[in-house]
Every structure is written in structure tokens, then in C-alpha cells.
Structure 1
Amino acid sequence: MKIEVITLNAADTLQAQEFGADRVELVSAMNEGGLTPSYGTLKNVLQSVTIPVQVMVRPHSFGFVYDEKDWNTIKEDISIIQELGGNRIVFGAVTKDGEIDEQLLEKVIHHAPNIDISFHRAFDQVKSQTNAYKVLTKYKDNVKRILTSGGKDRADQAMDELRSLVQLSHELDGPSILVGSGVSPDNLATLHEHIGASEYHIGSGVRVNKDFNQLLDKSKINQARDILK
């Protein structure tokens, strides 16, 4: 069982490592849903920690449909991440019709053939998560996990859907399901009992006062780890 924690900077990420997080998602601009971190943040974080760092690659907050100009930004950001020693990204793209944007995903993989991808909550915008999961399974050598709340705003609103996705991941031997959005030590036991995922993504739920402007709360991370033991 793994716990992934959202972090915003080097101090945050060092804390997450010290407190026992298995992996972090490094982002900026949480008030916009998370965007690509700055060069300086990337450099400081990637030089500071040993736990896996999944770096958000999201050029803007205007949805998950990207054009050629967006692709040029995405490509450069991935190049910088790799130049700084990272090889893990959080990325997702969909078409205007609510399908996985395979063309753009293939561009990402061609540009960085060994990249480890968490396909993020763009997955919650697709018309059919079952069909979208089957598409992403074709890219499982790179798309290692899918961050999703089951198509709803919060994971606790879609426990049946998430359980079905976890079962599908076992049946197809595809990307793992990383359960996120609204996950906290307060509901993790219930979520895990019902969904049975192997990975959980926690943001403000492990912050002091559940506030991204506050520090990580060691006791909450310990509580989450104890629940999943």
C-alpha cells in the first residue's frame, strides 16, 4: 500500500519524506488545481530528496484539452524535468469529445520514451472511464497509474465506481488506480475497505487544519500509514 502526498516546494517534500510518505506529487498553484512547478522549485526538490517525485506537467488551468502551442510548452517542461534528473510526471489530456487524447499522449512518450506517467484527473472528464481505462492500458509501459475520483468531485462519492476500476485494473493487468480527491485519514479506512486500491493520493487531508497554506501534519500521515498497514 502506498501513500502519495501533494507537495509544493523543497521544504514540503523533505517533510513528506521524513514523515514517511511513499511518493509525492509536486505541483504549483493549488488554487488553480495544480500547475507545473517552476524551474527553481524543480531543481531544489529533485536535488533534495530520495523518494519518488511525480512532477505535475500542466501548462494552464483551462481544462485538459491542449493545442499545438500547449504541446510545445509541455514538451519543454518535460525536457527540463529530465535535465534536472527527474523522470516522473503527472500528465493527462482529453479530446473535445471526452476521449483520451492518444495523439498527444503518444507525443509525450515519443519525446520521453522512459518516462513514468501518472495520468491525472483529466481521466475524470472522459465520457466512459471503462473505455478510457482500456485505452490507457495500451500505454501501461509508461502510464503506471491513473489518479481518479471515479468521475465525481470526491472519491467518497464514487466508491462503487472506483472499486470497479480497481477490479478492471486487475483483470487487464493495466495501470494501477490511484484514489484521490477528498481523501484524508478520517475517511481512508472506509474508502480502502470498500475500494481496495493499492495507492491513495492525499492533499490537504494531511495538512494542519486541512489547509495548503499550512505545514504537513506528521500525525495525520502516520494515521494514514497505520490504516493501510
Structure 2
Amino acid sequence: MTYQVEVCIDNLESLHYAIAGGASRIELCSSLALGGLTPSFGFMQQAAKISSIPIYAMIRPRQGDFLYNEEEIESMLLDIDAAAQAGLQGVVFGVLTSDGNIDMQQASRLAQRAKSHNLGITFHRAIDQCHDYVAAIEAVAELGCERILTSGLASNAEQGIEVLTKMVALANNRFAIMAGAGININNVTQIAQTTGVTQLHLSGKTARQSKMRLIAEQAKMGSQDLDDFIIPITSIETIEKVVKALRSVA
């Protein structure tokens, strides 16, 4: 069994650490604290220059739900173009209708644009907000996606093991089921062995202190409960341990 470990990152420092830790693929985002939003064009270009492994860009124009209007879909199409122009290998998206089905009309537009650039496609955790995941899996098959990122409809993948196992059976080798949300060294082998997933997704997040000598705490750049002088980064050690653990059961 060969396992793939995808690491989601939202800064260039973390890109280096994810690669050093043995990641198989990168999900490139901005704002991981919001679940991941579309990275900037400059970030995509620079990441493509640095990376020795495939990079998939998150295509999500805002935080919140996955019900998008026409203007938002148009911006997502342009972001797919940008990912291709930047030299990335794929994109990550999800689009739902108001009643919790995959919006096949809009998802097909996004998928066709990605395929026109020879970009791979991951359908993201929007599936965890679908009212019928069985129908959603068939819709993803129709779209021609390479994989679905999912927690098994639960708050984390460990709690979603039962549904993840069913999803792997339903996918039936047409595409991969990639387990994500709460993946760590303590549960990764259990999740992989129990469900049959061969792809796992995590951020491996830690943090470091700012290297600023002047700590101007009185002026907040955003939410008042966030420390602007603590930088979230990917932990090389965490990624290394997860990769090693999966190799031990391969």
C-alpha cells in the first residue's frame, strides 16, 4: 500500500517545512484559520518556483458556505486560470445548491475550465455539508475529479471513520477518498487501516514567535483575540512522524 500525505499551507515558510517533512502534495491556501481561501497569484507563482512536489490551489473566494452567485463563480473561473498560469498542478473546489446538493451546473463549469488547462481536481469538504453523500459521490464521479477531501461528514476524520469506510467502497477505485480534519500522529494509522483510504490531509500546524524586535501589541491588524506576533507554520516534525507512521503500515 502506498500512502499520499497532502499538507495544507497558507505561507511560503510552511511550504518548505511540508516538503522537508515528506509531504506528497500541497494544498495551497490563504487563511487556513477560515478553512482555506484562494491564495494570491503571487503566492501561487512563488510556490510553483519553490516546490518539488505537486501543488493544488484552493479555489474558494470567501469564507462561509458553498452557495455561490454568478459573480463569485466568474471569479473562481479566473482563479483557475491563474493557477494554471502560475504553473500549479491542480485546483480544489466545491459548489453546493441551497438544498445541499452538489451544484452540477456550476461545478461542471469549474471542472471544464480546470480540464482545459490540464489541471487535476480535488472536490473539497463541501461534501461534508451535503444532505446525501451517496448522491454526492456519484456527482463527483460525473465531474471527473481525482479525489474527494472529506472528514466523513463529522467534525473530524476520526469521528467520521464509519462514513469514510463507506465512501471508499462507494468510490470503488474511480477516484480517491482523502481523509482530512483532525489527522495527527495519534490517529493516522487507525484511520488509514480501518477505512481503506490511501490519501490523508493535514496542516501539521504549530507556531513560532515573530522575529520583530518591536512588539507593538496595542495595534491589532484583525481580530482582537489573535496575536499578530505569533506566526502559524507547518511542523516538519509532525509531517515526518505522520509519513513515517504510514510507511510502517504500508
TM-score (norm 1): 0.91
Partner secondary structure for residue 94 of structure 1:
coil
Q: 1:120 aligns with which of 119, 124, 142?
A: 124
Q: Specify the alignment match of 1:131 in structure 2.
A: 135
What is the distance in 2 between the residues matched to 1:217 and 1:31? 16
Q: CA deviation at 1:150?
A: 0.8
Gapped regions of structure 1 (runs ≥ 5): none
What is the distance in 2 between the residues matched to 1:21 and 1:166? 22
What is the distance in 2 between the residues matched to 1:106 and 1:68? 14
2:54 counterpart of 1:58: no
What is the distance in 2 between the residues matched to 1:16 and 1:221? 7
What is the distance in 2 between the residues matched to 1:149 and 1:99? 17
What is the distance in 2 between the residues matched to 1:188 and 1:52? 22
> Contact 1:36 / 1:58 at 8 angstroms: preserved in 2?
yes
Q: CA deviation at 1:57?
A: 0.4
Q: 2:240 aligns with which of 201, 217, 222?
A: 222
Partner secondary structure for residue 112 of structure 1:
helix
Change (3 A) 1:30 1:136: same
> Contact 2:182 / 2:202 at 8 angstroms: preserved in 1?
yes
- State the structure with more CA Rg: 2
Cα deviation 1:180-218 (Å, max 9, x = unaligned): 001111111221221120000012xx23379x9443222
Cα deviation 1:104-139 (Å, max 9, x = unaligned): 111113323222111000010111111110111112
TM-score (norm 2): 0.84
Q: 2:166 aligns with which of 164, 167, 170?
A: 164
> Contact 1:118 / 1:146 at 8 angstroms: preserved in 2?
yes
What is the distance in 2 between the residues matched to 1:208 and 1:87? 27
What is the distance in 1 between the residues matched to 2:114 and 2:238? 36
Partner secondary structure for residue 153 of structure 2:
coil
Q: CA deviation at 1:176?
A: 0.5
Q: Specify the alignment match of 1:154 in structure 2.
A: 156
Q: Which amino acid aligns with 1:124?
A: D
Q: 2:205 aligns with which of 189, 204, 207?
A: 207
Partner secondary structure for residue 201 of structure 1:
strand
What is the distance in 2 between the residues matched to 1:37 and 1:209? 20
Equivalent residue runs for 1:88-99 within 5 Å: 88-99=90-101
Identity of aligned residues (%): 30
Total equivalences in the alignment: 222
